[in-house]
Structure formats: C-alpha cells, structure tokens
Amino acid sequence: MRIGVFGAGYVGLVTAVCLAEIGHLLQVVEVDGDKVEKLNNGISTIYEPGLTELLERNISRGNIYFTNDSSSVIEHSEVIFLCVGTPPKPDGSADLSQIESAVREIARYAREDDFKLIVVKSTVPVGTAKQLRELVRNEMQGRRLNLEIASNPEFLREGSAVSDFMNPDRIVMGTVSARAQALLGSVYESFDCPKIFTSPETSEIIKYAANSFLATKISFINMVADLCEEVGADVSLVAEGMGYDKRIGPEFLRAGIGFGGSCFPKDLQAFLHVGKSKGLDFGLLEEVISINNRRSLRVVQKLKAHLNGLNGKKVSILGLAFKSNTDDVRESPAAKLIKLLAQEGAVIKATDPLSIENFRRMYPDLVEYVQFYEQAEAAVAGSHAAVVVTDWKEYKDLNWKQIKDSMARPVVFDTRNMLNADDMLDNNYEYLAIGKDIVHLTESLT
Ligand code: UGA
C-alpha cells in the first residue's frame, strides 16, 4: 500500500520505518532539510534500538523515501499518517497548529474525488478528528474533496519503540466510514493482535486514558513507597505481592523518583484540561501529577537529612535521561533534582551514557551548576553521595566494590531500586533506596 507520513520525529520515523519493513511503500514529509538528507542516507536522527538497521534495509529495498515536498507525498499516498508534534500550551491543552496545517496542506493538494484517509497518530484531545473534519470542509472551497479523518494512536515506548510497533498489545482504529475502516485495517492486516475498530472519539480517549492510568499506577506505588519508608516495609515486595493479582498486574509498579518523558506529564495535563473543560472533576489526575512533582524533593530531603546538610557537599548524579535506553531528557527527574540540589548549595557532578549533550541543550540554565563526566567512575570520585537517577544497566554493572574507595563518603541513593541492596551493604555502602528503610531491614536481619 502507498502510505505517506507527515513528520519524521520520534513517532513518525518509527511508524514509517516499521510500515516499510512490513512491505508498504512509504514517503515521509519532513520540513528539516538536514534530517531529510541524513535519513535518505540511512542515518537515524533519533536513538532507538533496531531502528538504523530497518532504516538502511528499507532504503535499499526502495520502500521508504524522505522529502520536504509534501505535494508529491500527498499525490503518492492512499493513507496519510500525521505524526507531527502536539506540544502543550501554557494552560496544559495540546497545541494542534502543526496538525491543522498538515490537514490544510493535504486539502490543498488533494485531487477532487480521490479518496484519501488522513490518520492522526499524534496524541490529540478527544474531538480533534471532528474538528479536523470541519477544517477540511472549510478548505474545500467548492471542490469535491473526498478526505476522511481517522484516529490511530501509538503506544510506543521510547527505547523499545520498534519492538512495540512490531509486537503490539492491540491496535486501535477510530474511523467514521466502512471504507476508511477497511483501508486502515488493511494497513495492519499482517498483525496478529486484538484490533479495536471504533469511532475517532473513543480511539482518542483510549490513548489518553491508557497513559493516565499507567501514570496513576506509578504515583500510587510511589505514595505507598513513602509509607513503606515510615514503617520499615519494602515497597518492591508490596508491588510484587500486589502484581500477582491478575486484576492489578505487575507492570508500572516500580516505585522511584517519578515519571518523566515527553508523554506522561504532557498527556496527563492535556487529559485533565479536557475533563475540566467539560465541567468534570478530574481531581484524581491532579493528585497523580502532584505526587509525581514531589518525588525529587523527597529524595533531596532524605539525602540532606542523611548527610547532615547539603551545602558544599559533592553529589554525583548517575543518569540524565528520563529513563534508560534513550537519549531523551525531556521532563527528566534529573533536571528537577539538580535544581533542588543546587538550591541547597550542593556541588553537582553528572554523567549519562547517551544524554549529556541533549541535557546541555535542553537545560542551559542548569548547566552552570553541573560538571559533566563521560564515565560514571569519574563522576563518582570524590563525592559525598552518588544518586542513581536513571535505570541504566551500566549503573547496575558498575564495579561498586572498587569505586567505593574513590568516594569522599560511600553514600549511594538508588532512586530506581535497581542495585542489589545486600551487595551494597556488604560493600559497606550507606545505601538509601525508595520505599525501603534499608537500615531497619538489615537491623532486623541481624
Ligand atoms: C509511554 C507509554 O508507556 C507508551 O505506551 C506511550 O506510547 C508513550 O508514553 C507515548 O504516549 O508516546 P514512554 O514515555 O516512552 O512511553 O516511557 P515509559 O516506559 O512508559 O516510562 C514513562 C516514565 O515512567 C519513565 O520516566 C519511567 O522511568 C517511569 N516509570 C515507568 C516508573 O517510574 N515506574 C514504572 O514502573 C514504570
């Protein structure tokens, strides 16, 4: 099938490359000329495991092509996916201007009577497809355009997006007509997973509801983690005990420093905004957000208490990305943490296997407080405490036994509960974690 994609950002690039891999013929519109050139040469512009290999293969098979000429892509495609950005506006609502201008462009170049299905993949508030139908109507100006708007949200996680695309839990397709449903269904014909055919409105809500629910699980377990610390319980075991209940499930119950990234924080705000705009009480989501916003502060307070103040103390930040296996630092807990530590007068060193440059670009105001190190060992040397902020496997594999002697004081705060507590205590670290009173636990063992 001939498919167009608008936007070679994170979602657009993964979607286009994966659709090419399953045999469709893809043309991708991207406004950034440098990106177009790189991508046509097989160079991926984002870090995502497995993507480069698929990109190279499908360029050489002639299944994918990048351009900034939208008219030729519109001409070429029966189905056009919109994967452009929907950044938050200051009031938390989603800014749809990029989506709207893509739809206007398609309406401008589409031929009369030529059926084209415009599929919104970007995360957009409920009612967007309807709004875009209105927009198309206004753009027709007497022409007989045959454009339909559908919703087909993505459920890709950064760091495993290719595998998530290829092995989806489900595919949600929101269409108005039977023709659109059949066409969109045939794009995903080769996938063997539950397929939900519904209206665009239901489909749009599924995406926000799914992300909001996952974020709610995280804030819930973080709330429980705080209680565990107070009473000497272990949140990891609480989560395990809860997770075996099939109605709850084990996923997204890892307590920690809170969720970040380009999706959860933005989508929660947007869903909250939609609920409120309909006069509904979405206070549950307000609480999920505020629990999350307090996570970094709690870490700083615990560290401050443990070190007897932070002024002049050297603190190493292990991990700047919002989670492992990505170079993305958007809404990263590390940024909040650094800001709070700096306010307390700490001297901050930081490291990350992939994200130092992105961090410098995204948080130029914070950079003056931080000294960056390529290697974790160098970042930790001389410090009074190391804080594991991102769940990189590299930090689990560090030779903790060896680096201990390089530290001014062997304090490790594991905000992801990813290190082996027994090993850390055996190595004589002062080991702090989330939702576990480690000192109390070891005392009770002895
Ligand atoms: C999330 C969703 O998982 C995807 O399904 C969705 O498609 C995507 O948003 C999106 O809307 O585009 P992503 O933001 O890449 O994906 O990352 P997640 O793996 O979901 O993690 C989000 C945040 O929650 C991270 O900061 C992570 O460290 C944190 N997290 C996750 C926890 O603190 N605890 C957990 O148990 C799980």
In ligand 1, the atom with minimum distance to the C-alpha of 322 is 26
Q: Are residues 320 and 214 in the same domain?
A: no
440, pLDDT greater than 60: no
Distance CA 129, CA 384 (A): 54
Q: In terms of domains, do 433 and 321 share one?
A: yes
pTM comes to 0.94
Q: Give residue 154 CA to ligand 1 midpoint distance, Å.
A: 13
Which of 198, 225, 245 is the last residue before a domain boundary? 198
The residue ranking higher by pLDDT, 346 or 92, is 346
Alpha carbon separation from 73 to 34, 82, 152, 398 (Å, rounded): 18, 12, 20, 48
Helix, strand or coil for residue 192? coil
Q: Domain range for residue 361?
A: 294-445
In sequence order, what E strands does 298-405 have? 314-318, 347-351, 370-373, 385-388
Q: Percent of the chain beyond pLDDT 70?
A: 98
d(CA 326, CA 8): 17
φ/ψ of 360, rounded to 5, equals -60, -45
pLDDT given for residue 99 in this prediction: 97
Q: Does residue 48's CB lie within 6 angstroms of at least one atom of ligand 1? A: no
Tally of domains within the chain:
3
333 CB less than 6 Å from ligand 1?
A: no
For this structure, is 83 an active site residue? no
Query: What mean pLDDT is predicted for residues 104-130?
Result: 93
Do residues 316 and 354 share a domain?
yes
* CB distance 370 to 238 below 8 Å: no
Among 171, 198, 225, residue at a domain's last position: 198
- Residue 303 backbone zone (phi > 0: left; psi -120 to 50: alpha; other: beta): alpha
Shared-domain flag, residues 124 and 254? no
Amino acid identity of residue 373, one-letter, is: Y
256 lines ligand 1 (CB under 6 A): yes
Task: Please give the distance, rounded to the nearest whole angstrom, from the Cα atom of residue 423 to the centre of ligand 1.
Answer: 28
pLDDT of residue 90: 87
- 57 with 99, same domain: the answer is yes
**Domain CATH code at residue 188:** 3.40.50.720
pLDDT score at 441: 47
Cβ within 8 Å of residue 407, ≥6 positions away:
380, 381, 382, 383, 384, 386
Do 69 and 164 belong to one domain?
A: yes
- What pLDDT is attached to residue 439? 57
Indicate if ligand 1 lies below 6 Å from the C-beta of 260.
yes
Q: Is the pLDDT of residue 166 over 90?
A: yes
- Mean pLDDT in residue range 183-203: 97
Last-in-domain residue among 236, 258, 292: 292
Residue 217 CA to ligand 1 center (angstroms) comes to: 11
Q: What is the pLDDT of residue 218?
A: 98
Residue 11 and residue 122 in one domain: yes
Calculate how far, in angstroms, residue 354's C-alpha sits from the geometric centre of ligand 1: 18
Ligand 1 pocket test: which of 165, 257, 264, 296 has the largest number of ligand atoms within 8 Å of its C-beta?
A: 264
pLDDT at 445 over 50: no
Place of tokens 């809404």: 331
Q: Does the Cβ of 372 fall within 6 Å of ligand 1?
A: no
288 lines ligand 1 (CB under 6 A): no
